[in-house]
Chain A
Amino acid sequence: MQYHLNYNFIWKYFDRLAWGLALSLELATIGILIGCIIGLALAVLSHGAGRPVRFVVGAYVEFIRNVPLLLLVYLVFYGIPSVGGFAYDATTSFTMTLAVYAGAYLVEVFRAGLDAIPKGLIDAGRAIGLTPAQRVLHVQLPTMFRIVLPSLGNAFISLFKDTSLATVLAVPELMYGANWIYTNTFRIVEVWTVVAPMYLVTGFILLGCLRLLERRFAIRRR
């Protein structure tokens, strides 16, 4: 069978892919920002809390981590409105799902980060007379940020890849752009040979930026 490659349609509708990529990045960014808030809040909450709180946080983390993301996406978009009697648009729904999903992974990251702060730093803060709030703000959070930065970066990249699932809700991100083009033009091979490198290159650029950021914020020891 002879197949003739024809990229004309891809370039004609390339703006769908470009805007799709922009939306993918936007979804991942909002997802990780809200996810960080959820993760940090729950990590701090369960750090000093008793058994019931830790159990609830643990249940949330385990539930989200052990259920496929696709099922969560469906559950939030189709399931919850059917019993709640309200509805939200697909983009909001997917962003919330992604944030809750990221939150479950980031709780562990932040908890490990909080544990890894050297005790001497907190004692030093106490010694120079910082109040507990000041110690959190000026000592614990900046130190923890540097410790968790690599994990946070990896979480962001994997979240960027997970945005491809938004296509099942017809959120117009990169994967949806690809699906739209090939259902309308049947240029399937051409679409995937363009879209797959777009995902790869974006991922590697993000990775490079994060490595630069890590080097910038690395804890220097002498």
Chain B
Amino acid sequence: MNVMLNSLPFLMQGLLVTLRVSGIVVAAALVLGVLFGVGLSFGPRWVAWPLRIYSDLIRGLPLLVLIFCVYYMLPLTGLNVTSFWAAVAALAAFQSAHVAEVTRGAVQSIPPGQHEAGKSIGLTFSQRMIYVVFPQALRRFLPPWINTVVSTVQGSALVSLVGIVDLMLAIQQVIGRTFKPMPMYILGALIYFVINYALSLMSRMLEARFAYVRE
């Protein structure tokens, strides 16, 4: 018990890193993923096909392999980034592919009549997206998107393996000093659980809230 209390300030620093990684990745993956998803659904063939290949390749690799690939191969392209940004880039690439699929599913659930109606009153493509499709697709998008946020927080634990002191590595370091693994792992599991369970509950609430709307 004492160990858990004494290590809390140190773990909080790790937690901040975990949250920072997750926050950056979620924001980047949201922007990229929505763009990719729209490209997948409505793009001409030369846009949709490369995106399809990107999404399938990225989702077909274990996240750990992706992180190591980016971490070791990025410097060869002449980009010397810190391990933090290499790991963030890998996670963002991974999650953007997942968000792209979520977006594709949500956007394609909008009946074609809505697009035609938008066209017939003279809206441009981006106007149709912003005023017609996105507001309706939002309720299909939000619950699965929150699940990708949960998986981002979980995936961020893997950045500890390239030496970033996030919550996971902070726990490991405390154990290295105190030799009390069990209390520390349970404390760490509880911290992760609280964050992710809150997100899961939010996803479920939104799902229930949107469930009654039917076309």
Taking a contact as CB atoms under 8 Å apart, the answer to whether B69 and A175 are in contact is: no
Q: A69-B154, A188-B72 are in contact. Are A82 and B182 (CB under 8 A)?
A: yes
Q: How far is the CB of A197 from chain B (nearest CB, A)?
A: 10
Taking a contact as CB atoms under 8 Å apart, the answer to whether B150 and A66 are in contact is: yes
B60 touches which one: A66, A80, A192, A199 (CB < 8 A)? A199
Taking a contact as CB atoms under 8 Å apart, the answer to whether A70 and B160 are in contact is: yes
Range class of the B interface residue count: 35 or more
B30-38, B125-133, B189-197 - the one binding chain A = B189-197
Residues of A within 8 A of B4 (CB): none
B78-136 contacts to A (CB < 8 Å): 78
Q: A63-B193, A65-B200, A69-B154 are in contact. Are A79 and B182 (CB under 8 A)?
A: yes
Q: Determine the main DSSP class of B at the interface with A.
A: helix
Q: Determine the main DSSP class of A at the interface with B.
A: helix
Taking a contact as CB atoms under 8 Å apart, the answer to whether B168 and A67 are in contact is: no
State A3–B61 Cα separation when bound (angstroms): 25
Residues of A within 8 A of B175 (CB): 78
State A178–B188 Cα separation when bound (angstroms): 29
Tell me if A75 counts as interface (CB < 8 A to partner B).
Answer: yes
Q: B-facing mask of A171-194, CB < 8 A → 1, else 0?
A: 000010010001000001100100
A26-63 contacts to B (CB < 8 Å): 62-63
Taking a contact as CB atoms under 8 Å apart, the answer to whether A175 and B182 are in contact is: no
B68 touches which one: A78, A82, A192 (CB < 8 A)? A192
25 residue pairs from A and B, CB less than 8 Å apart: A65-B200, A67-B154, A67-B193, A69-B154, A70-B168, A71-B192, A72-B189, A75-B185, A78-B185, A79-B182, A79-B186, A161-B63, A164-B62, A167-B64, A175-B62, A182-B72, A189-B72, A189-B76, A192-B68, A196-B61, A196-B65, A200-B57, A200-B60, A200-B61, A204-B60
